[in-house]
Amino acid sequence: MNVAFADTSGLLALLNPKDEHHAQAARAFATLRARQASLVTTSFVLVETYALAGRRLGLEAVRSFRADFAPLIEVVWVDETLHEAGLDLLLERRQRRLSLVDAVSFVTMRQRGVAEAFAVDPHFEQEGFSLVS
């Protein structure tokens, strides 16, 4: 399957040329485009991305993301069932640094059979997923 999960960490690094992971994210995004891979994410990731981009980079970055990147990404809207499954995973893992957003992402990836993440967050590899390089 030629699908990758788009995580906030990869999206923010791509948006911010000053981010320490920007070059890595830009290469990974170019790889995805060359492969004509589809991107999928959750509404939780979008909320997190918009909030952090606005706070760290300003509203112009939010506009840019919305216009240039969001249309390329299929969004899985988090419902109560997915939210609860993510919360169950979060509590099962017992890791302070793991967020509910990440846990919902992992559940979504497993449900959809997505093995690869557009991310710079090591939690994805710790969960057994590979990162786009």
Give the CATH H-level superfamily of domain 3-131: 5'-nuclease (3.40.50.1010)
Q: pTM of the prediction?
A: 0.95
For residue 124, pLDDT over 90 is answered with: yes
In this predicted structure, what is the pLDDT of residue 29?
Answer: 97
Share of the chain above pLDDT 90, in %: 94
**Residue-wise pLDDT tens digits, 42-97:** 999 999 999 999 999 999 999 999 999 999 999 999 999 999 999 999 999 887 78
In this predicted structure, what is the pLDDT of residue 67?
Answer: 96
pLDDT band at 131 (very low <50, low <70, confident <90, very high): very high
| Token couple for 2 | 């030629």
- Indicate the domain borders of the chain: 3-131
Within the chain, strands assigned E span 3-6, 38-42, 73-76, 116-118, 130-131
Longest CA span, the chain = 38
| Among candidate residues 54, 38, 50, 46, the one with its CA nearest the CA of residue 105 | 46
DSSP 73: E
Task: Spell 89-112 as b/e; 16+ CB within 10 A means b.
Answer: bbeebeeeebbbbbbbbbbbbeee
Residue pair 14/52 in contact (Cβ under 8 Å)? The answer is no
